Amino acid sequence: MPKVDVAVRERFLLGECPNWDADNNRLLWADILGQKIHALSLADGARQSWSFDSEVGCFGLTDKGRWVVALKSDVILFDPETGVQQKIAAVDGDNQMTRTNDGKIGPDGAFWIGTMDQNVEKQPVAGLYRVAGDGAVEHKIGGVKISNGLAWSPDGRAMYHSDSRGPWVNRWQFNPQTGDVSNGTRFLDLDDTLGRPDGGATDIEGCYWSAGVSAGNLNRFAPDGALLMSIPLPVPSPTMPCFGGPDMKTIFLTSLTENYDASKLEAYPLAGMVLSLRVDVAGVPVHKFREA
């Protein structure tokens, strides 16, 4: 079983969306409710952070050195060197029940953004959207409570997408040239014990890694859906894995402390921190957003 280490010894309220920035040998991640994006340099441990005016649901890297960031509903291009923001789109902005959530850059070079119902009693009012470089927005999948778990197969021809309150993971046929999705089928039905599916990632063997947010596990599933490994973690609520490091064999894993009381924080001193673990298989690199 892989050894789990602490990569960032600081608690975050809702750590999410880790991104490996290979060009700068650093890990990036968001604190959604903290309204920040953070960075950790692997070379010297230096830290940086950037603040935004609303929740940071998700973000990704662009092909021009900027970041594409999904705020509560606005989608912006952000230059981390200058702080300059450029709005390019809005996602589900007229729906007061939702905010952006899990998202990732697809093999088509577009930003795929999920939304979630913000209310305690979740309703299937959220969905999945595709935002192209020119700002064009397409609604792709609806009827979900908390859109999550985006990842693509190594050849880019399958897309994984979950509903954390389904709780299930579906697999769709994906066209990496056009971004068309079709023929969605149920890949996994999950539960609280193994772990409701939060963020996901894939490795070069075509396996799907899922943060079991309700169970404190990181689960690896074969392409046929068989459970290959369930790694217990020192945090109750892991949120999203990403592969990084020079050989892409380090998994970085965010976690949360949202709604934790003092006794739970005391019982789990590493809750809300960013974890890391070395694995034997490399991850599939996440693509970059193609700016217009």
Token pair belonging to 252 = 């970085």
Which stretches of 94-188 are DSSP H helices? none
d(CA 198, CA 167): 9
Residues of 148-170 as b/e, b for ≥16 C-beta within 10 angstroms?
Answer: bbbbbbbebebbbbbbbbbbbbb
Q: What is the CA radius of gyration of the chain?
A: 17
155 is catalytic: no
Query: Is 198 labeled as ligand-binding?
Result: yes
Q: CA angle, corner 137, sides to 135 and 140, nearest 5?
A: 150
205 annotated ligand-binding residue: no
Q: Is 171 annotated as a binding residue?
A: no
Residue 79 CB neighbour total at 10 angstroms = 14
Instruction: Record the pTM.
Output: 0.98
3-state secondary structure of 290: coil
Q: What's the number of domains the chain is made of?
A: 1
Per the domain annotation, does 283 fall within a domain? no
Kindly list the distances between the CA atom of residue 285 and the CA atoms of 75, 121, 248, in Å, as whole numbers in the listed order.
23, 35, 8
User: Does 290 reside within a domain?
Assistant: no
Please list the rounded mean pLDDT of every run of 10 residues in the chain (292 residues): 97 98 98 98 97 98 98 98 98 93 98 97 97 98 98 98 98 98 98 98 98 98 98 98 98 98 97 98 98 96
| Stretch (H or E) spanning 262 | helix 262-267
Q: Which of these, 79, 157, 165, lies nearest to 115 by C-alpha position?
A: 165
Residue with tokens 């602490």: 6
- Is 286 part of a structural domain of the chain? no
16 is in an annotated binding site: yes
Q: What is the CATH number of the domain that holds 194?
A: 2.120.10.30
Separation of alpha carbons 35 and 14, rounded Å = 10
- Active-site residue, selected from the candidate residues 31, 102, 163, 198: 198
Is there a domain that residue 292 lies in?
no
Q: Give the structural domain span for 20.
A: 4-278
Is the CB of residue 146 less than 8 Å from the CB of residue 165? yes
Residue 91 in domain: yes
Q: Are 69 and 61 in contact (CB under 8 A)?
A: no
pLDDT at position 93? 86
Closest CA to 187 of 229, 159, 216, 157: 159
Q: In sequence order, what are the beta bridge partners of 200?
A: 210
pLDDT at 24: 98
Residue 289 inside a domain? The answer is no
Is 25 annotated in a binding site? The answer is no
Q: Is residue 89 part of a domain?
A: yes
Residue 119 lies in a domain: yes
What pLDDT, on a 0 to 100 scale, did the predictor assign at position 94?
87
